[in-house]
């Protein structure tokens, strides 16, 4: 295989023109788990490429999308929505703030709480993310017809439920947030996730 640089991506591995030359395959390449992992990596790479075109890095889009849904929120609220620890969200906010996309706003009565919100440029960038999402969706489903897309969506939801069960996470359909923590199907707070 050779690495080439194209307008759609740099350093992509291109298989040989003659398939009889043979590609070395991973021993697990026929397993569903391997295919999911491989597709996830490709999805992440394509997403990074599209985000780069709008001047963002992976992960930053999630913060912008979360802030677009609300006027402003505290750093701990943002960390909770993104399901990351506060130091991680602080770094993301600092980078987006330096880029002029997020601003820190004065406290609402509590001097310890800093709220963050989108600037006008941040709102425009968040709106541009809709195009990125549409581009990813098109890339993912380009070779599927409508029926296959619907079937794949259903199958992936079943795989998600299976994996959530395997790690003891509540099903998404019943996951509610009360006082900043997800609620288990039995109604108790799920304290396994950080605040």
- Beta strand spans in 34-175 (E): 73-74, 102-105, 115-118
Torsion of CA 149, 30, 46, 138, to 10 degrees: -20
Residue 171 to residue 183: CA distance in whole angstroms: 10
pLDDT digits (tens, 9 = 90+) for 129-169: 988 989 999 999 999 999 999 999 999 999 999 998 998 88
Task: Write the pLDDT tens digit of every residue in 20-73.
Answer: 566 778 788 789 999 999 999 999 999 999 999 999 999 899 999 999 988 899
pTM of the model: 0.64
Tell me what pLDDT residue 105 has: 84
- Topology of 28-139 in CATH? Arc Repressor Mutant, subunit A (1.10.10)
pLDDT of residue 2: 44
Residue range 94-102: mean pLDDT, rounded:
95
| pLDDT level of residue 19 (50, 70, 90 thresholds) | low
């Amino acid at each position: 295989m050779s690495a080439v640089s194209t307008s759609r991506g740099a350093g992509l591995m291109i298989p040989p023109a003659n398939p009889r030359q043979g590609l070395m395959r991973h021993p697990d390449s026929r397993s569903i788990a391997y295919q999911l992992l491989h597709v996830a990596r490709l999805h992440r790479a394509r997403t990074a490429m599209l985000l780069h075109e709008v001047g963002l890095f992976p992960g930053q889009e999630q913060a912008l999308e979360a802030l677009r849904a609300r006027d402003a929120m505290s750093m701990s609220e943002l960390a909770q929505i993104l399901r990351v620890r506060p130091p991680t969200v602080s770094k993301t906010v600092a980078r987006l703030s330096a880029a002029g996309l997020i601003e820190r706003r004065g406290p609402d009565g509590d001097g310890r709480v800093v709220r963050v919100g989108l600037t006008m440029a941040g709102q425009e960038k968040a709106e541009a993310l809709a195009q990125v999402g549409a581009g990813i969706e098109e890339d993912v489903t380009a070779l599927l017809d409508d029926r296959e897309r619907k079937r794949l969506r259903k199958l992936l939801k079943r795989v998600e439920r299976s994996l959530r069960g395997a790690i003891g996470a509540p099903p998404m359909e019943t996951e509610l947030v009360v006082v900043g923590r997800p609620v288990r199907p039995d109604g108790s707070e799920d304290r396994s996730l950080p605040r």
